[in-house]
């Protein structure tokens, strides 16, 4: 395929197709660009790509008739596309073109779709904390939302029950849709340890394959909750999804490392697809920390607006650029950052100083500086909560001098210098220094 070279950025759903190729859903890069669905052959050649505009797509399923159904997450829609990427169906047509379901709601951050048949979809509607079955007309045939918090990847079992990853509660639930009751739990309530599970599949032997994202592992558990197999890596992989293949191998979406791997039961990598090429400038030291150099739009050179987890919101503020001050504004839950990439040396010590002020950041939300270390593949060495940061500021605060001294981890090769805004409000920065 030569029309456009698709670079795999943020791997979500993966599926091995009957022809031996692999269908991969890519949520896109840090700046909110490049979300796509691609089909890759055994040799790593991209043989198909969905070219219609997608925003942080999470899952794609290939139908037997050759069309592909996609959860187009930040467009809050489900679409079906032809092999030529023509949109044949969109949930935006529900409710006379308003995208409204039969209960008067719309989809909000749908992160997974399972095809039950040609007329019914099982949808995980994350920001409504629910899993539902709807037909092509938008009629809700079933839904479950009692106790769910940011669920992922609903899946129907051979017996008709529904597995849901109740991600924020660190559990996997099995629901009896006839009784609308939870009949099985693996995770916190049952005394087992999970951290942000995002995929669970019932296997033919009755066990369940679980993707335990923040523990960077895949595990197989019995109905009694006993772990009978697991695969875990010693780096921050944040696996998104895993499938057992017909040959017994496991296909894994390694999200933060921009790759798909197929492993055998011994953990050997049998196949890998990774074509990530770094296209962001990595500076040898902090560059333009006083924001005197800007492009024609007033955006500071060397800096990027990081919107990957901003859920469609956020903007750069250059109101005070003539004073050397830049900022960001956010109107929803999520994370927005202004970042710069710098090269670092493992186990070297770095000293950061900068000034920050905030405006109207809601209680429970915050702004701060952060140094977020990345490994040789451009993947994080830890999650955002664990990365070094300055004081987390809420409300309105005048300029404060903030500092931190950090040591680069052994795996670190680069780092993001961040002004991070978590939730609603505005944050500004100026006069940044970084010393080694």
User: pLDDT tens digits for 284-297?
Assistant: 999 999 999 999 99
Residue-range domains of the chain with CATH: 11-273 (2.120.10.30), 282-435 (2.60.120.260)
* Alpha carbons 428 and 290: distance in angstroms, whole number: 12
The per-residue pLDDT of the chain, averaged, comes to: 96
287: closest CA among 339, 347, 214, 328?
A: 339
DSSP 97-139: HT-B-TTS-B--SEEEEEEEETTEEEEEEGGGTEEEEEETT--
User: pLDDT tens digits for 167-185?
Assistant: 999 999 999 999 999 999 9
* Alpha carbons 249 and 48: distance in angstroms, whole number: 24
User: pLDDT tens digits for 58-116?
Assistant: 999 999 999 999 999 999 999 999 999 999 999 999 999 999 999 999 999 999 999 99
User: pLDDT tens digits for 222-280?
Assistant: 999 999 999 999 889 999 999 999 999 999 999 999 999 999 999 999 999 999 988 89
User: pLDDT tens digits for 27-55?
Assistant: 999 999 999 999 999 999 999 999 899 99
Residue 152 pLDDT grade (very low, low, confident, very high; cuts 50, 70, 90): very high
Instruction: State residue 406's pLDDT score.
Output: 98
* Alpha carbons 351 and 388: distance in angstroms, whole number: 12
Structure tokens at 222: 């019995």
Are the CB atoms for 374 and 380 separated by under 8 Å? Answer: yes
* Alpha carbons 364 and 382: distance in angstroms, whole number: 22
Structure tokens at 254: 């390694």
């Amino acid at each position: 395929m030569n029309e456009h070279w698709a670079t795999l950025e943020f791997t979500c759903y993966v599926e091995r197709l009957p022809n031996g190729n692999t269908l991969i859903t890519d949520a896109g890069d840090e700046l909110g660009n490049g979300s796509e669905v691609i089909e890759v052959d055994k040799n790593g050649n991209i043989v198909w790509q969905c070219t219609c505009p997608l925003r942080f797509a999470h899952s794609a399923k290939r139908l037997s008739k050759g069309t592909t159904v996609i959860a187009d997450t930040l467009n809050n829609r489900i679409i079906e596309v032809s092999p030529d990427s023509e949109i044949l169906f969109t949930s935006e047509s529900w409710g006379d073109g308003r995208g409204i379901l039969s209960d008067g709601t719309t989809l909000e951050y749908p992160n997974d779709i399972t095809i039950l048949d040609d007329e019914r979809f099982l949808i995980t509607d994350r920001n409504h904390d629910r899993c539902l079955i709807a037909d092509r007309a938008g009629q809700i045939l079933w839904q479950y939302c009692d106790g769910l918090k940011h669920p992922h990847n609903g899946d129907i079992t051979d017996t008709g029950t529904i597995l849901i990853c109740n991600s924020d509660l660190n559990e996997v639930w099995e629901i009896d849709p006839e009784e609308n009751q939870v009949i099985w739990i693996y995770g916190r309530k049952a005394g087992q340890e999970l951290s942000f599970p995002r995929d669970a599949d019932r296997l033919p032997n009755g066990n369940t394959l679980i993707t335990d994202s923040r523990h960077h592992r895949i595990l197989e558990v019995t109905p009694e909750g006993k772990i009978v197999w697991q695969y875990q890596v010693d780096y921050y992989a944040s696996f998104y999804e895993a499938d057992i293949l017909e040959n017994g191998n496991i296909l894994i979406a390694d999200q933060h490392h921009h790759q798909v791997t197929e492993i055998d039961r011994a953990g050997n990598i049998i196949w890998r697809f990774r074509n990530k090429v770094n296209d962001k400038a990595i500076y040898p030291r902090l560059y333009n920390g006083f924001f005197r150099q800007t492009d024609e739009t007033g955006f500071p050179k060397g800096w990027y607006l990081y919107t990957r987890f901003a859920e469609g919101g956020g903007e750069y503020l250059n109101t005070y650029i003539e004073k050397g001050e830049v900022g960001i504004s956010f109107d929803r839950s999520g994370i927005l950052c202004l970042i710069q990439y710098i090269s670092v040396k493992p186990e070297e010590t770095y000293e950061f100083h900068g000034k920050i002020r905030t405006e109207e950041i809601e209680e429970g939300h915050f702004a701060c500086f952060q140094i977020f270390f990345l490994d040789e593949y451009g993947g994080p060495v830890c999650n955002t909560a664990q990365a070094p940061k300055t004081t987390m500021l809420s409300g309105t605060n005048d300029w404060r001098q903030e500092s931190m001294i950090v040591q680069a981890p052994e795996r670190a090769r680069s780092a993001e210098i961040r002004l991070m805004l978590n939730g609603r409000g505005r944050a500004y920065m100026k006069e940044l220094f970084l010393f080694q």
